[in-house]
Amino acid sequence: MACTILMAPSNVQAIKCLDGQNYVGLKPSTTQKFISAGRAIKTHSRSLFIVRASEKRDESLKDLKKMGLSDEECEAAVVAGNAPDAPPVPPKAVAPARTPVVPSLVSEEDTPIGAMPGCYRLGWRHGLVEEVSKARDVGVNNIVLFPKVPDALKSPTGDEAYNENGIVPRAIRLLKDKYPDLVIYTDVALDPYSSDGHDGIVREDGVIMNDETVHQLCKQAVAQARAGADVVSPSDMMDGRVGAIRAALDAEGFQHVSIMSYTAKYASAFYGPFREALDSNPRFGDKKTYQMNPANFREALVEARADEAEGADILLVKPGLPYLDIIRLLRDSSPLPIAAYQVSGEYSMIKAGGVLKMIDEEKVMMESLMCLRRAGADIILTYFALQAARCLCGEKR
């Protein structure tokens, strides 16, 4: 039997309760009743102890005493089941009328992307986990996270990029908790977090500030690694950022975190649908001052050698299909793994052609991925990942 002793300690040596246990140092009450679960017991001492089996019973006795009944009458009424009803539960407080409803800054709902049929802005808590579960079911265990950041969190210096409670670190922790063996790649760049929409910090005269941007990127990469990222992927195209990020990660004890560098990222028109998806178009100008000229293939070799020297683990070419020659160029000149990014424009063109019945979507999809592999890509980033994996597994769309 569980009982609660109500009195404070005194110089009493030991008292034996109804359950046979000895209780030491209990101060006697001034009454002569020992109230237990359902009956009153006369004792041989004037000093007795009050014991209650529940808060509800004690409150019932108090209510009966308010009606002018003696202790014996109160106890008999409770035993007979005639205790008064408990007071009603007070109503839950509500906001005053006309109080505005403030929605969460980070959406937890899946939102379809008009320019990319079949793709969604995934709610970070549920939709993302469900999509990863589907991918793992067909053998895809490597994902890349790209955030859609609310405008209210954007700033000229993109400080939200290294907020350890931001959407990307939270998503990493959530996924790693659910799937510890999942391989998570992250994007390291300021454009999703910048109020200017550029990959770097913009000076008043419109110049992109290289070194100041690299400083921010290092903090972003460390925050992602601390959350559990396996591979950080600087896509900003700032000079010297790979070496700086490698040094920052090593200094914080993240020597095991790899770097996939966007080595040859061209200033391409194929990025349009993705920028609509993340609402990350530059507020002014374009990205041609730091992304590569589509007509220049030699620069890819220069960037590849610099990234190798600075500690990159993977070299990436973006876009994919229009730059098969660059993939092959890097494959033939570097011992590092080569990644190819089949970007949103490539995806949307194939999807549109399939919807209009101008091409066989599935066959063109698989052929486009095979071309990237044939050119020398060891890793392919594609929005077709789930669909292609299902095709390879023999599943129907």
Q: Tell me, what CATH number does 151's domain have?
A: 3.20.20.70
- Distance, in Å, from the CA atom of 246 to the CA atom of 257, rounded to the nearest integer, reads 9
Tell me, yes or no, whether 184 and 255 share the same domain.
Answer: yes
Is residue 263 within 8 A of residue 292, CB to CB? The reply is no
Q: Which of 24-38, 105-119, 192-206, 363-377 has the lowest mean pLDDT?
A: 24-38
**Is the domain of 132 the same as that of 191?**
yes
Q: Residue 280: inside a domain, yes or no?
A: yes
The angle at the Cα of 194, spanning 226 to 296, to the nearest 5 degrees, equals 95
Confidence class for position 64, pLDDT limits 50, 70, 90: low
pLDDT band at 106 (very low <50, low <70, confident <90, very high): low
Say yes or no: 26 and 126 in one domain.
no
Confidence bin at 367 (pLDDT 50/70/90) = very high
Is residue 318 in a domain? yes
Q: Is residue 104 part of a domain?
A: no
298, two tokens: 């030699």
> Is residue 216 domain-shared with residue 269, that is, in the same domain?
yes
The reply to whether 35 falls in a domain is yes
Together in a domain, 56 and 139: no
Least trusted range by pLDDT, from 18-27, 186-195, 233-242, 282-291: 18-27
pLDDT surpasses 90 at 97: no
Is residue 188, in this structure, part of any structural domain at all? yes
- Choose among 294, 333, 316: nearest CA to 372: 316
Residue 183 in any domain: the answer is yes
Q: Is 321 helix (H, G, I), strand (E, B) or coil?
A: helix
Whether 322 and 375 map to the same domain: the answer is yes
Q: Which domain holds residue 374?
A: 111-392
Average pLDDT (253-275) is 93
Same-domain status, 173 and 269:
yes
Total domain count, the chain = 2
Q: Which residue shows structure tokens 């005053």? A: 96
Task: State which of 60, 79, 98 marks the end of a domain.
Answer: 79
Query: pLDDT-based confidence at 58, cuts 50/70/90?
Result: low
The residues annotated as belonging to the active site are 265, 318
- CA proximity to 36, closest of 68, 82, 79: 79
> Taking the CB of residue 62, how many other CB atoms lie within 10 A of it?
10
* 61 and 127 belong to one structural domain: no
